[in-house]
Amino acid sequence: MNAPSIGPVAREMTRRLQEALQPSRFQLSDDSEKHRGHGGYNPDGESHFSLLIEATAFAGLNRVARQRLVYKALGELMESRVHALAIRAVAPGEAA
């Protein structure tokens, strides 16, 4: 995590992604404040995120299939709480 304090949404995202994909590298950033005044901005924060995740589960998959694995792991958070998620999903050995 990049943020000095981790909120409940980021904690739950982290838990779900680590459990489902067992990443070897993981970085989740809360970018919500950068989107103040834009669509989907939530004054409570934790609405816009950036994710860098490296996992063997991504080996041999294209970008769309990798993103689907991330969305599946996050489940209803993507429908209810997270407005935007920028995903960089790589397999071990690939450039991040």
For range 17-30, the mean pLDDT: 97
pTM value is: 0.84
**Is residue 22 in some structural domain?**
yes
Domain containing residue 61: 8-90
Tally the domains of the chain. 1
For range 36-57, the mean pLDDT: 78
**Is residue 27 in some structural domain?**
yes
- For residue 2, what pLDDT band results from cuts at 50, 70 and 90? very low
Q: Contacts from 91-95 at CB under 8 Å and sequence distance 24+?
A: 91/54, 91/55, 91/56, 91/58, 91/59, 91/60, 91/61, 92/24, 92/54, 92/55, 92/56, 92/59, 94/54
**Is residue 50 in some structural domain?**
yes
**Is residue 3 in some structural domain?**
no
CATH classification of the domain holding 19 = 3.30.300.90
**Is residue 1 in some structural domain?**
no
**Is residue 95 in some structural domain?**
no
